[in-house]
Amino acid sequence: MPAEQAEPRILIADDSLSARDFLKSQLTALRPRIYEAENGVDALEIACSKYLDLIITDVQMPGMDGLSLCRKLKDDPTTQGVPIIILSNLESDQDITKGFDVGAVCYLAKSECKSELLQRVERTLERAALLRGKGVLVVDDSNSIRSVVCRSLAQAGFRVVEAENGREALSRLSSFQPDLILSDIAMPVMDGQTFCKAVRAMELYQSIPFVAMSSSSDRRMLRQMSEKGADAYLVKPFNVEEVVLLAEKLLSDHGMMLLQERSRLTRERTMLLSAIASLIQALEARDAYTRGHSESVASISKSLAEHMGLPPDNVERIVLAARLHDIGKIGIADSVLLKEGKLSDEEYDNIRSHPLKGAQILKPIPSMQSILDAVMYHHERMDGSGYPLGLKGSSIPLDARIVAVADVYDALTSNRPYRRAMSYEEASVVIKEMRGGHLCPDCVDAFMTMMKDSDVGGSNGQKRQRNGKRQVQNAQ
C-alpha cells in the first residue's frame, strides 16, 4: 500500500450487520477507518459529509438501493471521484453491466469476497492514490463530445479542463498543467496536429501522454499524429468508458514510470552520498583538528537556515552543501594542508583553490548541481575581498553566505595547532566584527538571534568550548 493510504477511509453500505462485520474482518490488514451505513440514504449522507477513499456497497438495500446510491454519488461533483465497489448476490451479466453503467469500478459477487475482496480493495486504493488529482485537458470543437468526455472523466476522479480548439487549449496551459491531453484533430482556428506539435515543443509538456481523437481511421493520419508526438489514437464514435480506461492506463503507466525513476534516482543519490561521506571522512582523518568539521558546519547551517524561515527543500540543499563545502581539499597536498608554520604565497594560493576544486569534483554529478554555488562561493566576502571570484554583497548566493557563517563559527570554536578553541562569547565578538565586511549582515543577525534564543553560552555567561567532534550545543 502507498504511504498515503496507511489509514484508508472506507464506507461500507449494507443492510446486514453480519455482512458489514464480515467485510470489516476481511479488511483488517489495511487498518482502515471504517464508516457504516445500513441503507443508501445513510450512505449518501456520510459520503457527502466525510472524506472517503473508497465506498463498498450492496445493491439490495431498503430506502435507496446501491445502484441509485452510485448514480447520486457520480452526479455530485463533491463525491463523483470516489471509487465504488459493488458487492452483490446478483451475478448475471445484466446485473454486472448495470453496476458498471452507474459508475462502479468493480463488481464483485459476495461469494467471492473471502478470496478476492482484500486484493480488489488494495488494487483500487493504489490506483486511486496514483490517479488522485490528475488533470486532463479535453480539446474538441464539439460541445456534446466535450460534455460527455469531461463528465465521464470527472466521475472517474480526474480534474478536467476543456477547450474548443488548439489555440484556446494553449492559453489554458498558462493556468492549468495537465497530466494528460485528449485532443480532436479536425478543429477550427488551430487543428490537433498543430496543437500537438506546439505542445511537444514546450519542455514542460514533452513527456505527458497525448491522445488524438478523430472520426478518421486513415493510416496516414495515424502516422502523422504519431510523428507529431501523439501516444494513442481514439477513433470516433467511441464508448466513453474507452476514454476513461485509456486515460487510467496511460496515467497509471506514466505514474508508475515516474515513481520507478524517482526511486532509482533516490537509490543512486543515497549511494553517491555514502561514497562522498567516505571521502569526507578520509579528508578529515588527515587532520585531527578538523575532524567532524563538515558535520558540525552542516548542523549549524541547518539550524540557521531553518531559523531564517527557508523552505525545507532549501534547508536540505544547504545542509548537503555544508557537508561537502571542503570536498576540494582532497586535492590539496598534505604538506600544504597540514603545515603548521606560515604558508608561502604559492601554498596559500593552493589552499584558496579548494572551493573551485570542490565545484569541479561535483560538477559532473547531475544531482549535485544545486549545491555548486555554496561549495564554490563559501569563501567569498561581502566587501569583495574573498575568493575564488571576488564576488561582492548580494551577488554571493544566500546558501554560500549561510555556510560561511557556520564555517567561521565552527572554526573559531575548534581547537587549532596555533590557538585554543574560543568560547561562544569570544567567537561572537569576532563574528560581529566580521559583519558586513566578511560575513552577510542578515545571516550574522539571524545567527546571533538563533544562538541567543537557544541559550548557547548560558544565561550566566558560562563558557562552552568545542573540542574534536562535539557540535555546537542547543543550536540544532
Q: What is the pLDDT of residue 299?
A: 92
Q: Are 280 and 301 in contact (CB under 8 A)?
A: no
CATH code of the domain covering residue 48: 3.40.50.2300
Same structural domain for residues 249 and 269? no
Domain with 190, as residue range(s), is 135-255
Same structural domain for residues 114 and 45? yes
Question: Pick from 436, 355, 361, 363: which is nearest to 388 by CA?
Answer: 355
Number of helical (H) and strand (E) elements in the chain, helices listed first: 19, 10
Q: Do the domain assignments include residue 71?
A: yes
Q: What is the pLDDT of residue 171?
A: 92
Q: What is the pLDDT of residue 473?
A: 31
pTM of the model: 0.45
Same structural domain for residues 282 and 416? yes
CA torsion sign for 54, 59, 61, 65 is positive
Same structural domain for residues 126 and 139? no
The angle, 0 to 180 degrees and rounded to 10, between the axes of the packed helices 424-434 and 441-453 is 160
Same structural domain for residues 121 and 161? no
Same structural domain for residues 438 and 311? yes
Q: Name the residue with cell 502507498.
A: 2
Q: How many CB atoms lie within 10 A of CB 79?
A: 18
- Last residue of some domain: 255, 282, 315? 255
Q: What is the pLDDT of residue 175?
A: 87
Secondary structure (3-state) at 295 = helix
Instruction: Provide CB contacts within 8 A for 293, sequence distance 6+.
Output: 284, 326, 410, 411, 414
Same structural domain for residues 324 and 435? yes
Same structural domain for residues 174 and 251? yes
Name the domain count of the chain: 3
Q: What is the pLDDT of residue 287?
A: 60
Same structural domain for residues 163 and 115? no
Each residue's pLDDT, cut to its tens digit, for the chain (476 residues) gives: 443 446 889 999 999 999 999 999 999 888 899 999 999 999 999 999 988 889 999 999 998 999 999 999 988 878 877 889 999 888 788 888 888 888 888 888 888 888 889 988 988 887 777 777 788 999 999 998 888 888 888 877 788 899 999 999 999 998 888 988 999 888 999 998 899 889 888 888 887 888 888 877 666 777 777 777 787 888 887 777 778 777 777 776 655 565 555 566 667 667 777 777 777 777 666 665 556 788 889 999 999 999 999 988 899 899 999 988 988 888 787 777 777 777 788 888 888 899 999 899 888 887 788 899 999 999 999 999 999 999 999 999 999 999 999 999 998 988 765 567 888 888 999 999 999 999 999 999 999 999 887 754 433 333 333 333 333 333 33
Instruction: Provide CB contacts within 8 A for 457, sequence distance 6+.
Output: 423, 424, 425, 428, 451, 463, 464
Same structural domain for residues 124 and 149? no
Same structural domain for residues 47 and 166? no
469's grid cell: 567532534
Q: Is 90 exposed, middle or buried (0-12, 13-18, 19+ CB in 10 A)?
A: middle
Same structural domain for residues 350 and 418? yes
Q: What is the pLDDT of residue 75?
A: 83
- In terms of phi and psi (left: phi > 0; alpha: psi -120 to 50; beta: otherwise), the region of 341 is beta
Q: Are 29 and 121 in contact (CB under 8 A)?
A: no
| Whole-number Å distance between alpha carbons of 151 and 148 | 5
